[in-house]
Amino acid sequence: MWISRALFLLMVLATDASAVEQPIPDNPLIVIPGGRFIYGNDDGNANERPRRSIELEAFAINRTEITNGQYQRFVAATGHRSAYYGGHPMLGIDGRPVVGVSFGDAAAFCAHHGLRLPSEQEYERAARGTDGARFPWGDAPVDGARANHGNDICCGSDDSDGYAMTAPADSYPGGASKDGVLNLLGNVWEWTQDAYQGNERHRVLRGGAWNSDPVHLTTTYRLAYDADFRFAANGGFRCARSLS
C-alpha cells in the first residue's frame, strides 16, 4: 500500500515519541528530529550573528517549563533547597513555571530525572523549527494570544495577555512551536547548559519572559547571567535528552 512521504514522517515521529521514556509524566518529552536548521540572526545583536545552517542530532525536550509542583516533588524526594519563590502567592502556584532557581538548581533537577538542560542550539531549534522563523509560530508578531509578554518598553509586566506575571505552563497553545512545544517564547527565561562566550560563571538563558519587551522576545536573543543567581522572578527552565 502506497503511503505519502508526509504521512510516513508523521508515523515515524509518533513512533519515536512513544518510545521515549517519560521521567516527568505530567510534562512529556517532545521529540525534535535531527537534521539541518537555520541558527543565528544577522539582524539581531552582535552575539546572535552570524545566521547559518548547522547540523543537529535528534533530541527530546519538555513540552512546557518545569512547574512549581514538579520542582517541589523533586525537593521532597531529594532534600534539595526549595525555589526562592516557592510558596509565593503568585509566583509559587503549582501549575506555573518554577522561578527563583539557579543554574545549578535547574541542572540538579534535570539530572535527578536522567535528563539535562538543553543546549542553546537545541533550544533555538525547538523554538524556531528548521527554516529560521523569528517566532515559534512563524513570523507573525508577538501578541497576547501567543505568548505571555511585557510592555513595549523593557521591563515591565503587561496583563493584556491575561497574566500580570507568570502564566500556567500549558497556556498559549496558539504560540506552540511546529513540533508542539509550548512557551518557548515568553513566560519565563530558561537556563541552557551553555557557558556565555566560554565564561563558565555566566550561562545563557533563552526565550524571554512575562516582563520582556519585543526586542527580547525572539527565538535568537541570548541573555547571559551569573549561574549562581537564584532570585529572578522571571527565570526558570525545562529539561532535554539526547536521542543519538
Q: Which domain holds residue 206?
A: 21-242
Q: Tell me if 202 is assigned to some domain.
A: yes
Instruction: Record the pTM.
Output: 0.91
The answer to the question of residue 25 being in a domain is yes
CATH code for the domain of 149: 3.90.1580.10
Q: Are 109 and 81 in contact (CB under 8 A)?
A: no
Higher pLDDT, 20 or 15: 20
**Is the separation of the CB atoms in 114 and 242 below 8 Å?**
no
Which regions of 113-179 does DSSP assign to beta strands (E)? none
Residue 220: burial class (beta carbons within 10 Å; 0-12, 13-18, 19+)? buried
The 10 Å CB-count burial string (b at 16+, else e) for 109-127 is bbeebebbbbbbbbbbbbb
Q: How confident is the model at residue 17 (pLDDT cuts 50, 70, 90)?
A: low
Which residue's entry shows cell 514538579? 70
Specify if 5 maps to a domain.
no
**pLDDT tens by residue, 20-35:** 899 999 999 999 999 9
| 12 in a structural domain | no
One-letter-per-residue 3-state SS of 186-199: CCCEEEEEEEECCE
The fraction of the chain above a pLDDT of 70, given in percent, is 93
pLDDT band, residue 53 (cuts 50/70/90): very high
φ/ψ of residue 212, rounded to 5? -90, 140
Which cell goes with 63?
513540552
Model confidence over 75-133: pLDDT tens digits?
A: 999 999 999 999 999 999 999 999 999 999 999 999 999 999 999 999 999 999 999 99
Does some domain include residue 10?
Answer: no
CA distances from 60 to 94, 123, 173 (A): 24, 10, 19
pLDDT of residue 244: 83
Specify if 16 maps to a domain: no
Number of domains in the chain: 1
Other residues' Cβ atoms within 10 Å of the Cβ of residue 222: 19
The reply to whether 137 falls in a domain is yes
Calpha distance 134→219 (Å, rounded): 6
